[in-house]
Structure formats: structure tokens, C-alpha cells
Structure 1
């Protein structure tokens, strides 16, 4: 009875945090054209506001595992919720792109500790045999965020003002804090060891420079030469960190976890898929509003279909994995995910709304099956004592790859616009960007093929629908 209770409570509490984060993310991308108008920039330039959130994640996710071990998971989780709520108010009060970008970075700091530490709580409270069943509950609950976000963001942006969308987080955050105080134990590790400050500095600098440079390529804020220089320095620092981590006994991000086949396929292979997945929520609202001439609310009514497809996936993922196994699902479904994402580029102005809705629905169904399968597989062969450090690395790679989808999608869109000779983006500029997103999913297949046929068998057989 106690195990069943934990398998219900842990997903509920963590899902509240994930719901808050996903609502916020979907509100921002839905309101981007309106924000761009107020800040005096074009919509693609405002990808920096999305990327700055990812930068906050990238800097502080690596230390979330150590902080949870040192100060207790509940303490860190609760503090992160407070930071996230406060920074939401900063976003609402921003009167320039620079101020909004800073506020989003602070939000990323809160998100860096909130969702990954929530996942640590989840994994420590749920037995391995219950992982997929509980992960389904977590995914299903958290998927209401992507469903509600476009609708709330679209409605408020169209009929009120985009600034009011950031107040949606406040009641959700209060509920999350209440559930955390009542149900979550303050789990900590007695001797977590010292923080790897050298590793923290190298990883933070490399991530910030590389992602920031990538998001600035082709934009209005800096020259392409400066942006490419930032990318090059960031990549060089990442190589230096990889060499440093191999010679350190307890590195901040332990790359030796990649020697575990299931972790490698889930995190490295999954990162290629997630780049395409991360581009989708950025490109879809932009195409519907800038390319098809829809309002933010009309766009939200359509993009929420992706979330409904994801919610339906949660009802079948356990049975699919139990019947076919992780390896087969990750290979075949990567193809289906790639096709469904690329198909969004075939949408054109004047197409019947029900067809657009159906295509977007499928673009949520297959990627959600892939996403949940990858998340479940990551910890299949990770010992309980290593969950904190493995979660830091897995969460960082997951968030960075999803965040990387925004500049990758933005660059593909800019290249397509220039190739077509358009001054501003039009509907015909979007299909190459969606094609790139789909190809990213196909690129994840080779690592999935390297998995043994029995990979993740313990958790797939232990799951129950």
C-alpha cells in the first residue's frame, strides 16, 4: 500500500512543476509575435528570449544533483518553485527585449533546479518495477500543460495582453509548494562530496557561449562573425571539459555514464530526436500566425492538438513497450516521429482546419511515445546511489537538445527565407525547417540499433497498464 501511495503522490507533485514549466514555455512561443511587435523586433529575433531560458537551465542543471544531495531534494525543489514564480513576475514587468531576456534566464535558473530535482524525487520514491506505470502518470499529468498553454496564451494575448499570461504560473506554484511540504520527504546524502567548481565553470561557459552564439546567427543583435566565434569558443571549452571529466574522480557531469548502453541510447541518441522535437513548438505557432495569418488564439486552438496526441500516447505506451521492447519501439517510432514532424511543413493557408488539426495531432502522438520511452529507458541500468548524478547529466542533455531545436529551427527558417528571396517569412519558407526537424528524429536511429534486444526488460516487463 505504501509503494502504491508513493507511485501516485510522486508523479502528482512532480507533474505540478512540469505543468507550470510547460504552460510557461507554450505561452511564450504562442505570444512571440505580439511580444516582437511591442519590443520592436521581428519574431525570429525573439528566439533569443526562448534560448535565454535554456541558458539558465544549462548553467544550473549540472549542479542540481549535488544541491539535492547536499541540502535535501525537498528544500531545493521548493526554492526552485519560488524562483520560478518570482521570475514570472519579472517577465510580466519587462519593457524591453533585454529585460525580458534576463527575466527568462532567471526563470531558467528556477527550472534548472525544479524539474530535474523533481525527477530525482520521483526516481527515489518509485520502485523500478513501477517506473513505466508511474512515468505514464507523470507524463499524462504534465501533458495538460502543453494542451492548456497554447489556449491560455492565445486567448490572453489576443483578447487581453501577453503580460497577463505570466500570472498563470502563480496559483500552480502555490499548489505545488503545498503538495511538496505535505508529501515529499527531504531526502539527502550524508557525504555528497565537494562541488566540482572547475567542471561547473567549464560546462557553464561552454553551454552559454555555444547556444547563445547559435541563437544569434542570422539575427539583428550581433554580426554573424561574432556569433560564430562564440559557437567556436563554446565548442572548444566543451572539448576541454570532456578531457577534464575523464581524469576527475567525481566530475560534475560524469560522462562515464555513457558507457551504459541504455543510458547512451536514451540520452545521446535521444538528444538528436529532441532537437527536432524542440523545434516544433517554436515553428508551429510562428507558421500559423506569420505564415497563415491566424490570431494567437486561433493558433493556440490548433497547436494544442499536439498535446492531445501526447496525452493519448500515455494510455498505450506501457502495452507497446511490453509487447515490442525498447529497441524495436525506438527504431520504428523514430521513423514515424520524423515523418509526422516533417508533415507539418506541408500545411498551407486555406487548408481545411480539420486536416491541419489531424496533422498536428499526429505530430504529438508519435514523438510523445518516443519521448516517454527514452525517459523510461535512461535509468534502467543506473544504480539508486547514482541517480542524482545521472539525472543531472540526462536532464542537461535533454533540456539542451530541446533548446537547441529553437536556434536550429530558426536558422533553417532564415536560410529558407533568404533562398526564396523574401524580406519577411511567408508560409512557403517553413517546410524546409520542418523537414530538418524530421531528419533529426531519423538521425537518432543508429544509436537505438546498437541496443541489445533485451534492453530495459526489467522495467518494461514490470509495467502494467
Structure 2
């Protein structure tokens, strides 16, 4: 199996990479497809649409909490078996999500879905990274990152179409045939990578990271709620911060840490963890904010708003072939700075949209946003592993996957907080009567977060990641 994959990797597209990308697509799609269905789901559950963001956040944060443990599970039981079991859990949970009758039931099943997704992420990515040489890393990473870019954009129109012509519950039922096919292919294609060294399970590290992530994210959820609970929010922030500090110290001292931090000594990896996480959080809020702004703010129906958001997907898709040449031409540092600035401007442009804005102009802004978003996402993800030694690749992958999922989950919460802040600011400034003003102000806040994340890029050397980009100076 390994020899077959290595041969196919000459084109950078092995069967395993394509299957893993397909599984990622299904996983990321489920993380965002309910965005346009939120108003209809809220009516079914008797709550406000913005309050249902917990259904998205709970799923994504469960991924972040369990990803470190899944790396250990994969090493112990083998990549092929774990990947297939993950698909089975994900598919079963999808059925239960569609059958949910209350918000509590729905969130519980989204957590179960997240458990399946958490087993898929590091196992699939590591199986591909271990069989890809450095000079083909850009192509391999581009294959694995397209689901994270495409699924959040395909999700809204697909969710809108299903909601309008069927029922939102079918959003989850369609995963059943896809999941069954993926399970069969996984048992045939995924290499059965098993770590020969049996490392013990780091229970203190796992508990500490779990407490930290759940506490911090729940605190963020409360900050974005209509009626924040000051005492509880402060307590959760304090608990999460203390647990995170303990976990970081524990990982540095224990011989078998759940997450090894060695890769943080690599400058290129460190930049993608700090500034890169702010970028990922900011763009993750976009698929959540856009459909709500178009529907709740501008009064569009779910299907029409979903079709507009498709312009972002077209931008992602059309620029893909040019991403690798751009990285090789400009190098990582120059590309991330130039394209990052354009990405900030595209986010800020969304703050100036109104119901009277011509459709062609809306689609142009969203299309260009998709272009800049795609380039930045692929460049950041590739740079992360460009200088990481092979011996550290497994732990670096686990750390990167955990940080990515946490950033995505916090991005949704960031969007909700942005809306709440937008409501307060628009009321204070007398702009509350303007259609969608709270959502437009949220986009301005998101653009600012993305801009702050860019400052970390200035610390990169001119030849950063040259082993992959082949760009010297």
C-alpha cells in the first residue's frame, strides 16, 4: 500500500489523499451547512436564530477537545481501523441529529458527531503527510485544505435548498449514503499506519486541555449571549486560563505528553499557530455571518442568500491552480503580506453592503473575498509544515489540527459576539434602523481581528519556507 501511494504521489494526488479530502469535506460541510437553515431550525426549537450558533460551536469545539486523544488512539490501533470507525460514528450521529426534537438533543448529537470528526482529522492528515515528500507538500496540503474552504461555502446554498424544498432534517440524513461509501473505501485505501512505540495515555494532559477548551469556549458563548452572566463568565475564563497554563507546563515536563510542543521552536510553524489562528478564526466567522446578514438583516430567503454566497466558492475554486505558482513566485512572506491585506479589505467591504447594493457588486466582492481567502488559507497551512523535521511531524500535525479546530470554533463564537456588539453600537449611534447594521459592524470587527493576525507575518524571514516554495530571498 505504501509503495502504491508513493508512486501516485508523483502527481501529488494519491487515492488516500483524495479519500481523506472527501471525508474532510463531509465533516466540514456538516460544520457549516446548517448556517442558512438556522432560522427554520430556530422555529422548530422555539429559540432565536443567533442562539443556535451553539449547535455549530459545540460540534467544532468537540473536535478541538478530542483531536489530541485521537492521535494516541490512531498510534495504538492503526490509522485504517480508526478512520473507518470515525466515519461510522459520524454517520450514525448524523441520523440522530436529524431526529432531534429539542435544542439540547441537537447539541448532544452534534457533540457525538464531533467525536467522529475528531478521529478523522489527525489520522487522515498524518497518513497523507507521512507519505508525501517535501517538494510535493504544497499539492498535498492544497488537496487537504480545499474541503475547509469549499464546504463552508457550498454548505449555505445546499442548506438553503434543502430547507426550502424539503426539511432541514434532510441536511443530516444525506450523510448516510456518503458515509457508508467512505467507510468501504477507507478499509481498502487508507494505509494501516501503526506506531511501534506504545506510549502511555497522558490522562492529566488530556483532562487539562479538555477543561481549558470547554471553559474558554463556553465563556465566549456567554459573552455573545443576549444576557451575559458576569460571574459565571469570569469564573469560566479563570478556570480555562488556569487549566491552559497547567497543560502547557505539564507538556514541557512529562516524558509522554498528549501534545508535544517541540514544533513551536520552528519559526514558520510558530507564526502559523499565532497569527495564523487569528486568520482562521476571522474567516471562519464569514460563512456564519453572511447568510444571517442576507436573511435576517436584508430579508432574503434562505435559497437566494445561499446562491449569493456561492460566489465565494467560485473564487476559491478558480484561484486554486494559481496558488502554487504564486507561492513559488513571491515566496511565503511576501505573498502572506500582500494577499493578507487584500483579504482584510474584502472583509471590510462586506460591512458596506446594503439591500440596495447591486447583485453583481455583491457577487464581485464575495468572489474576490473567496480568491484572497483561498490563497491565504493554503499558504498558511503549507508554511506550517514546510520546516518541521520528519521526526516531529506527528506531534506537529496534532498540535496544528487542535489549534485549527479551536480557531474555527472560536470564529463562530466571534461572529456571534460581533453581532451582539454591533447591536449595542448601532443603538448607541442611532443606526439601528439601517438594515443589517449589526451584521455589517460585525464584519468590520472581524476585519480588524484579521488585520491584527497579519502582524505576526512580519516576523518571518524573507526565505521562510524556501524548502517548499523554492523561493530564495
Tell me the TM-score range normalised by the shorter chain: over 0.9
Q: Does 1:450 align with 2:468?
A: no
Q: Does 1:430 align with 2:439?
A: yes
For residues 77-118 of structure 1, what are the alpha-carbon distances to aligned partners after superposition, in whole Å with 9 as ceiling and x for unaligned?
A: 111111111111111011111111111111111111112211
Question: Larger deviation: 135-144 or 249-258?
Answer: 135-144
Structure 1: state its 5+ residue gaps: none
Partner of 2:18: 12
Aligned residue runs from structure 1 range 201-240, under 5 A: 201-219=207-225, 223-240=229-246
Question: Larger deviation: 181-190 or 241-250?
Answer: 241-250
Give 1:250 deviation, angstroms. 2.7
Q: 2:386 aligns with which of 368, 371, 380?
A: 380
1:423–1:87 CA distance, 2 compared to 1 (3 A): farther
1:64–1:313 CA distance, 2 compared to 1 (3 A): farther
Partner of 1:396: 402
Q: Does 1:114 align with 2:120?
A: yes
Q: 1:84 aligns with which of 90, 110, 135?
A: 90
For residues 197-239 of structure 1, what are the alpha-carbon distances to aligned partners after superposition, in whole Å with 9 as ceiling and x for unaligned?
A: 1000000011001101211224268734323321221122111
What's the secondary structure of 2:34's corresponding residue? helix
Structure 2: state its 5+ residue gaps: none
Distance in 2 separating the partners of 1:11 and 1:61: 19
Partner of 1:287: 293
What's the secondary structure of 1:45's corresponding residue? helix
1:342–1:192 CA distance, 2 compared to 1 (3 A): farther
1:202–1:430 CA distance, 2 compared to 1 (3 A): same
Question: Larger deviation: 317-326 or 64-73?
Answer: 64-73
Partner of 1:406: 412
Distance in 2 separating the partners of 1:157 and 1:251: 45
Give 1:140 deviation, angstroms. 4.3
Distance in 2 separating the partners of 1:18 and 1:255: 25
Distance in 2 separating the partners of 1:166 and 1:285: 19
Distance in 1 separating the partners of 2:301 and 2:108: 27
Distance in 1 separating the partners of 2:145 and 2:318: 10
Query: How many residues matched?
Result: 462
1:383–1:143 CA distance, 2 compared to 1 (3 A): same
1:370–1:429 CA distance, 2 compared to 1 (3 A): same
For residues 34-57 of structure 1, what are the alpha-carbon distances to aligned partners after superposition, in whole Å with 9 as ceiling and x for unaligned?
A: 111111111111111111112211
Task: Say if 1:317 and 1:369, in contact at 8 Å, map to a contact too.
Answer: yes
Distance in 1 separating the partners of 2:286 and 2:97: 23
Distance in 1 separating the partners of 2:137 and 2:363: 32
Distance in 2 separating the partners of 1:37 and 1:221: 20
For residues 11-54 of structure 1, what are the alpha-carbon distances to aligned partners after superposition, in whole Å with 9 as ceiling and x for unaligned?
A: 21111111101221231112111111111111111111111112
Aligned residue runs from structure 1 range 289-304, under 5 A: 289-304=295-310
Question: Larger deviation: 316-325 or 142-151?
Answer: 142-151
Task: Say if 2:355 and 2:435, in contact at 8 Å, map to a contact too.
Answer: no
- RMSD, aligned α-carbons: 2.0
Question: Larger deviation: 179-188 or 222-231?
Answer: 222-231
Distance in 1 separating the partners of 2:272 and 2:405: 13
Task: Say if 1:214 and 1:228, in contact at 8 Å, map to a contact too.
Answer: no
Distance in 1 separating the partners of 2:192 and 2:369: 39
Partner of 1:177: 183
Distance in 2 separating the partners of 1:191 and 1:425: 62
Distance in 1 separating the partners of 2:383 and 2:224: 37
Distance in 2 separating the partners of 1:216 and 1:121: 38
Give 1:139 deviation, angstroms. 3.7
Distance in 2 separating the partners of 1:425 and 1:78: 50
Task: Say if 1:16 and 1:172, in contact at 8 Å, map to a contact too.
Answer: no
Task: Say if 1:274 and 1:398, in contact at 8 Å, map to a contact too.
Answer: yes
Question: Larger deviation: 35-44 or 134-143?
Answer: 134-143
TM-score by length of structure 1 reads 0.94
Aligned residue runs from structure 1 range 6-405, under 5 A: 6=9, 7-8=12-13, 9-140=15-146, 143-219=149-225, 223-405=229-411
For residues 226-279 of structure 1, what are the alpha-carbon distances to aligned partners after superposition, in whole Å with 9 as ceiling and x for unaligned?
A: 233212211221112122222223311222321111110122220011111111
What's the secondary structure of 2:351's corresponding residue? helix
Task: Say if 2:65 and 2:402, in contact at 8 Å, map to a contact too.
Answer: no
Distance in 2 separating the partners of 1:113 and 1:454: 35
Task: Say if 1:53 and 1:105, in contact at 8 Å, map to a contact too.
Answer: yes
